[in-house]
Amino acid sequence: MERRIVIHATHAAAAEADRAYLRALTPQERLERLLRMQQAHRERLGDAGRGLARVARVVRLAPPSNKRATARPQDHADAAALEALGEAEAPGGDAEA
């Protein structure tokens, strides 16, 4: 690949020259450029460039604790009210009898 430096008067002229150059490339040349850029990017990333390993792991969760978290007294009262409401609305319960 021949490299050369060209100085343009404006950014717009430089951008147009870049587009003209890229349009002049064959599809095969464009593909080769893309593959070279991808390879260079992967080399810069090192091990991370190889991608993520597909791993799944099943983890057994600890049983729920019956301890209450430290909170404001109002939070405990709200939680107790919600629990009582849930028990009252439970299907098949004696709340409606």
Q: Domain for residue 54, yes or no?
A: no
Does the residue 89 lie in any domain? no
Number of domains in the chain: 1
Highest mean pLDDT: which range of 18-22, 44-48, 72-76, 80-84: 18-22
Is 28 inside a domain boundary? yes
pTM above 0.85, yes or no: no
Residue 26 phi/psi, 5-degree rounding, is: -80, 160
* Per-residue confidence (pLDDT) for residue 1, from 0 to 100: 65
Tell me the C-alpha distance between 65 and 11, whole Å. Answer: 66
Q: Which range of residues forms the domain containing residue 33?
A: 11-48
Look at residue 95 and tell me if it is in a domain.
Answer: no
Helix (H) or strand (E) holding 83: helix 73-88
Q: Is residue 94 part of a domain?
A: no
